[in-house]
Amino acid sequence: MRRSSAQTKAGILAAARERFAADGYERATIRAIAAAAGIDPSMVMRYFGSKDGLFAAAAEFDLRLPDPRDLPRDQVGATLVRHFMHRWEADDALQILLRTGVTNQAAAERLRTVFVTQLTPTIAALTGAAGPLGQAESRAALVASQILGMALCRYVLRLPPAVTMTDDDVVAWLGPTVQRYLTGDAPAT
Amino acid sequence: MRRSSAQTKAGILAAARERFAADGYERATIRAIAAAAGIDPSMVMRYFGSKDGLFAAAAEFDLRLPDPRDLPRDQVGATLVRHFMHRWEADDALQILLRTGVTNQAAAERLRTVFVTQLTPTIAALTGAAGPLGQAESRAALVASQILGMALCRYVLRLPPAVTMTDDDVVAWLGPTVQRYLTGDAPAT
DNA sequence: AGTCTATGTCAACGGTTGTTGACCTGGTCC
DNA sequence: GGACCAGGTCAACAACCGTTGACATAGACT
């Protein structure tokens, strides 16, 4: 055979990740993705069924959060921030979800489930059995707001000061914030 | 005359804001906007020249930041968070920019200039002449990351715990964060 | 050799989009 | 009344999109 189906499938997926991450869902066209993969557009349909199917495959991913019980309790915030930054830069899928979750319903749902279902148990494990689960959910949302916000400014909007900052700067500034969202006392309201 | 040009122009603008805020730039079609305004699509072209022109008009807006020198220094964080939340809910333009700035180059540029040029001087006024301007820019980016991140989770992604939280909850949690980004000592890196 | 299958190309479809230009129409002014 | 004009409609355009089905071809198997 000239090429294995797995090879071209992987090639399409790689090209799709690049285009989705750069252009978002609507502006990334199947024709452009196929061209980047050096293949006919109809091959994309053959392997992934539809544009939605291709997107679902391209946006597949895992936060790979570490177990917080393995970490010194007072450094869990900084560690988590650093972990996320590595994850952002290693895997396009997070940028894809962020860029498309804003207009695409399915991507928004994916982002929601990823952050709620993967972050909440991590936090629940940290706070222990004490405290209601609802608190863990709120804390997860707060952490997500800061983490996603920085990713938005740094990788998507490319806000100059956010881009210029070193990774260490970001960890030093955001670490205490996330630490407080995770382990700090709930403020009286 | 059956209708004044200013009236229909305003009608188109209102419909455009709604569609752009709900669907983003690409999925909001001129035809849908025109239909919502009860008008022919070609009228949109007559009044705004092109879709880009219409978008530019619809995304016009101002943060209307208060002068921080009028506030108690230790409450400037909480005040700013509350101000932003009111601003989000009163004016569609911020949601438009957030939803479209992710794929539309012009919208991203607008968001950048809005946050950098309106937030940075406010912060510089707060920290006084002391400290380099670069610090004010970094602090502005940090504030933007937390504010935009919460807006993203709450209004765009509709992450359930972020939506459920009351305004007071958000202010109580984010206030200290923003306060530290504004007035806290720069961490040693 | 001849068949079969996986891999791939090609041309076309129906639909939607931004945009354009020709045309209509109700009110205003001479 | 008739010319004029701002406000509005209509049909069509070229381009692009996702998607489809008919067709080609290189290699594996009998």
**Model pLDDT for residues A53-96, shown as the tens digit of each residue:** 999 999 998 899 999 889 999 999 999 999 999 999 999 899 99
Q: What is the pLDDT of residue A56?
A: 95
For the cut 70, the answer to whether the pLDDT of residue A133 exceeds it is no
In a domain? residue B189: no
Same domain, B11 and B93: no
Residue B102 tokens read as 């992710």
Same domain as A29, residue A106: no
pLDDT of residue B189 exceeding 80: no
Residue A73 within any structural domain of the chain: yes
Which of B24, B141, B189 minimises the CB distance to A161? B141
Residue among B114, B153, B164, B185 with most chain A CBs within 10 A, to mutate: B153
pLDDT per position as a tens digit, B92-105: 899 999 999 988 88
User: CATH code at B37?
Assistant: 1.10.10.60
Question: Cβ atoms within 10 A of the Cβ of A103, count?
Answer: 23
HEC per residue, chain B:
CCCCHHHHHHHHHHHHHHHHHHHHHHHCCHHHHHHHCCCCHHHHHHHHCCHHHHHHHHCCCCCCCCCHHHCCHHHHHHHHHHHHHHHHHHCHHHHHHHHHCCCCHHHHHHHHHHHHHHHHHHHHHHHCCCCCHHHHHHHHHHHHHHHHHHHHHHHHCCCHHHHHCCHHHHHHHHHHHHHHHHHCCCCCC
Pair B109, B43 in one domain:
no
* Residue B175 counted as domain residue: yes
Q: Which residue range is the domain that position B25 belongs to?
A: 5-58
Q: The tokens 């294995």 sit on which residue? A: A4
Q: Do B107 and B173 fall into the same domain?
A: yes
Q: How far apart are CA A83 and CA A178, in angstroms?
A: 12
Residue B188 lies in a domain: no
CA-to-C1' span, B58 to D3 (A): 38
How confident is the model over B161-173, as pLDDT tens digits? 999 999 999 999 9
Residue A82 lies in a domain: yes
If asked whether residues A128 and A166 sit together in one domain, one would say yes
Residues A14 and A45 in one domain: yes
- Total structural domains within chain B: 2
Same domain, residue pair A75 and A165: yes
- Helices B105-127 & B133-151, crossing angle to 10 degrees? 120
Q: Domain for residue B72, yes or no?
A: yes
Q: Identify whether residues A104 and A122 lie together within a single domain.
A: yes
| Cα gap A183→B37, rounded to integer Å | 50
- Average pLDDT over chain B, rounded to whole? 92
Q: Quote the pLDDT of residue B131.
A: 62
The helix/strand/coil state of A74 is helix
For residues B161 and A112, give the distance between their C-alpha atoms in angstroms, rounded to a whole number. 10
CA–CA distance, A118 with A64 (Å, rounded to integer): 9
Contact B169 A138 (CB under 8 A): yes
First to last CA, chain A: 68
Q: List, for residues A1-38, the tens digit of each pLDDT value.
A: 667 888 999 999 999 999 999 999 999 999 999 999 99
Please check whether residue B63 lies inside any domain of the structure: no
- State whether A96 and A33 are in the same domain: no
pLDDT given at position B129: 60
Residues A139, A168, single domain; the answer is yes
More confident residue, B5 or A10: A10
Segment B30-39 shows an average pLDDT of 97
% of residues, chain A, pLDDT over 90: 80
Minimal CA separation from B7 to chain A, in Å: 30
Residue B62 phi, psi dihedral angles, 5° rounding:
-140, 135
Q: Pick B144's closest partner by Cβ from A140, A153, A187.
A: A153
pLDDT at A140: 96
- Domain's final residue, options A33, A58, A83: A58
Q: Does B102 share its domain with B152?
A: yes
Length of chain B: 189
B11 and B49 both lie in a single domain: yes
Encode pLDDT of A39-56 as tens digits.
Answer: 999 999 999 999 999 999
Give the separation between CA B28 and CA B142, rounded to whole angstroms: 31
